Structure 1
Amino acid sequence: MKLFKFVLLFISSLAILGCGAYSFTGIDTDAKTFQVNYFQNNALLIEPGLDRDFTNALTDLILNQTNLSLVKSSGDLIYEGEITTYRISPTTATANNTAAQNKLTIAVNVRFYDTRDEENDFEQTFSFFYDYPGEAQLIGSQKDSAHEEIFERLTQDIINASLANW
């Protein structure tokens, strides 16, 4: 019985130590700092505060999912770009030619720079949408929920494209 406990403890210790050296996110551990430059809203339809909220959402997600430190300049990893699309469009119609469902689409053009390895640099557009009932107005908590859901997907896609080196 003592031998069994010893073997179990030994295997558990190896498993815990082994997981500590491996990053499940695939994040390059050579980078120490990052900066997120302000994402200006260049969409035809301007939603006040969208640029600030998106910039903060990307910054917060990187802080929460990595051990990188946020800096204002000279970061190892640099994110910049602009919001290019903010569009509300009907997706389905009723018999009365009214929208049964609407779609909010937000697209962001991102330029990513890895100052330590230029081969990792890219410029890419990320886009996601939120469907909501046609009779609903995209205001208040409905709009906040839509923005949160879209930002969650966009920022995760950006992190995956820039930091997940599988």
Structure 2
Amino acid sequence: MTWSNYRKLAAWLVLLALLPLFSGCSVYSFTGTSLDPAVKTISIQTFQNTASNGPSFLAQRFTEEFKDYFQRNTTLKLVPRNGDLQFEGQIVAYDFAPAAIQSQNGVDQAGVNRLTIQVRVRYTNTQDPKQDFEQTFQSYGDFPATQDIARINNDPVALRRIMLNIITDAFNKSVANW
């Protein structure tokens, strides 16, 4: 290797070593969050089930999934109350209805049933109140007409998929600012 090549290699190594300094003071992380470094804690109150129907365990399961998602995707410490970020809300709809009607031998019947869940989320950012919001998020899942609501309620994967869509939307709106 020539002296010129050593100088080029040394220049590249210095540049690579200094690159993190040029990235600025961004608050972006690889999980997609854009949190202010002053935000350290999160509190998530139990989401109440105010829907006229739905399984009795729905509020507790949704709240636990919500907490788990935020703990997996942020470095925030979960506290019982008064976190820097605060979530509360209620499950406002849990509807199971035919989504596609098909006619068989002159008789109309459901071909596909749809479970729709709506959750009203209230978000408070104590460090930046301009980001506060209250919004209803909705997701649904389609199921064969042969699968009744009791079976779906006892299928944690089916319910989890619908709940996870709502939680992801709330995550993106609150800490990812999408």
Aligned partners of 2:146, 2:133: CA distance in 1, in Å?
40
* Matching of residues 84-95 of structure 1 within 5 Å: 84-95=92-103
Counterpart among 133, 150, 156 of residue 122 in structure 1: 133
Against the structure 1 CA distance between its residues 153 and 6, is the aligned structure 2 distance closer, same or farther, given a 3 Å change threshold?
Answer: farther
Kindly indicate whether the alpha-carbon contact (under 8 Å) linking 1:44 and 1:86 is maintained by their aligned counterparts in 2: yes
Query: How far has the Cα of 1:104 moved from its partner?
Result: 0.6
Query: How far has the Cα of 1:74 moved from its partner?
Result: 1.7
Normalising by structure 1, we get a TM-score of: 0.86
Query: How far has the Cα of 1:98 moved from its partner?
Result: 1.4
* Deviation sequence 1:52-77 (CA, Å, 0-9, x none): 01101111111111111000122111
Match of 1:71 in 2: 79
Against the structure 1 CA distance between its residues 149 and 5, is the aligned structure 2 distance closer, same or farther, given a 3 Å change threshold?
Answer: farther
Q: With CA pairs under 8 Å and 6+ residues apart, which has the higher RCO, 1 or 2?
A: 1
Match of 1:32 in 2: 40
Structure 2 residues without counterparts, runs of 5 or longer:
none
Structure 1 residues without counterparts, runs of 5 or longer:
none
Match of 1:113 in 2: 124
Q: Which structure: larger Rg?
A: 2
* Matching of residues 1-166 of structure 1 within 5 Å: 2=6, 6=10, 9-10=13-14, 12-14=16-18, 18=23, 23-24=28-29, 25-96=33-104, 97-138=108-149, 139=151, 143-165=155-177
Please tell me the residue identity of whatever aligns with 1:60: D
Kindly indicate whether the alpha-carbon contact (under 8 Å) linking 1:27 and 1:165 is maintained by their aligned counterparts in 2: no
Aligned partners of 1:154, 1:121: CA distance in 2, in Å?
18
Against the structure 1 CA distance between its residues 8 and 53, is the aligned structure 2 distance closer, same or farther, given a 3 Å change threshold?
Answer: farther
* Deviation sequence 1:81-138 (CA, Å, 0-9, x none): 1000101111111213111111110000011111223222111100000111111234
Query: How far has the Cα of 1:26 moved from its partner?
Result: 1.9
> Percent identity, aligned pairs only?
32
